[in-house]
Amino acid sequence: MKLWGGRFTKGTDKGVEEFTSSISFDCRMYREDIAGSIAHARMLAKCGIISDEDTEQIVAGLTGILADIEAGNFTFEIALEDIHMNIEKRLTDQIGAAGGRLHTARSRNDQVALDTHMYLRREIAAVSRLLADLQQALMETAANNRNVIMPGYTHLQRAQPILFAHHMMAYFFMFTRDFSRLQGVWDRTDMMPLGAGALAGTTYPIDAKYVAQQLQFGALYDNSLDAVSDRDYILEFLSFASILMMHLSRLSEEIILWSSSEFKFIELDDAHCTGSSIMPQKKNPDVSELVRGKTGRVFGHLMAMLTVAKGLPLAYNKDLQEDKEGLFDTIDTVKFSLSVYGSLLRAMKINGQRTQAVLDQDFSNATDMADYLVKKGLPFRQAHEVVGKAVRYCIEAEKYLTDLTLEEFQQFSPLFAADILQAITIATCVNNRNSHGGTSPGQLSRQLDTAKDILQREQVVLGKYGGVGL
């Protein structure tokens, strides 16, 4: 018989059982469910709602069930619907009436909310650690390739020369903001809903603060309806994950392009590539392609949950069962993507000779040529026109700006002097961009120092997360 079956005269249709059951996916929250039940039982005893003897039996029984699940000696049953009922049924079968007292002063509504809060909190800690490691890998890649110059692009057209390390640090700071966003998700997840009951609280003299302390929650929900009916913390995590995956997808797109024969800017390690079943020469950037592809499914989970939640009246509705599969898949996808990317970056090789050669046969120094004239007194718009004409001349003559003689330069403006060739070397173009956040070596050093400080501060945050256990 169902644990809720007293009101019913018929058994549940097998098709309905399968349709409404969540045990196939919410079984992963067994640790959280057991930890929450143990804390709840101890609170009931503390408040005199159940006896100490019952509580001792409940705690011992739940501890044994945890061991059984960990050892693979527990069969989850679809007929029992979810992780909560599966565990409670096993407990009651083992210890009798004491097990039936565990559910006093709580509902599955606040129980499932508790489990989800605890589970997501634990996974936020895991994702944060992986994200910090990716940031570390980006900083290492930048520091190890400080002198490599590459084309910077707009519209995927070569624009201005930049340090490769500068490009890597751009992603470092993107992921730093992602880390900060995840801290905010933690704050909204670190709230304890147990005690809300089904929707209106409970008539029993419970001590929710005691349970929160036992489970190391930083705050309590102030409204019982809110506690059981909202999933904004899940939506916030899905939003964070979508932005994070968008950043990873952008990086992946560049890794894919740079590793192609057309670019040859990098070479990926064999360990992070696959070959072709028919073309022996192929070395495919599958990891980056998969991360780029998996970004779409994370976006889909966010939109799905927004759609589920948008029309729900207070309080709990079965629709909210749909919050878990997308969340779990997103967590798995994000953790996989982050875990592989750090090692990919650390192992890839940068072809600095190739990136320099590309710059030597291009016009990415044109802006610096215009700036040269501006510093000689020519208005920028006029300088822009002069350099544009010089570029057109070079294209027609199959030359580059650094191939021009002083006499050729002076055909376009008498302001050009012998120092023009030094002013438009690729190294000079990079070195002179010393404004805050620019690509000069000095600014890169400042960025790397800032990155070290950021990573140290993040370790403090990770330490706080690490102190929250089950």
Q: Are 7 and 68 in contact (CB under 8 A)?
A: no
354's tokens: 């190739």
| Residue whose token pair is 């780029």 | 292
Is residue 155 part of the annotated active site? The answer reads yes
Question: Is 276 among the residues known to form the active site?
Answer: yes
**Cβ-based neighbours of 405, under 8 Å, separated by 6 or more:** none
Q: What are phi and psi of 85, to 5 degrees?
A: -70, -35
201 contact partners, CB below 8 Å, separation of at least 6: 195, 224
Compute the distance between CA of residue 117 and CA of residue 120 in angstroms, rounded to an integer.
Answer: 5
Assign 76 to helix, strand or coil. coil
Integer Cα distance of 100 and 415 in angstroms: 92
CA separation for the pair 198, 7 (Å, rounded): 17
Q: Compute the distance between CA of residue 214 and CA of residue 418 in angstroms, rounded to an integer.
A: 76
Q: Which of 24, 51, 276, 339 is catalytic?
A: 276
191 strand-pairing partners: 219
Q: Beta strand pairing status for 349-350 and 149-154?
A: unpaired
103/108 Cα distance (integer angstroms): 9
**Residue ranges of E strands in 136-186:** 149-154, 157-163
Pick the catalytic residue: 155, 261, 277, 436?
A: 155
Phi-psi region of 219 (alpha: psi -120 to 50; beta: other; left: phi over 0): beta
Catalytic residues, which ones? 155, 276
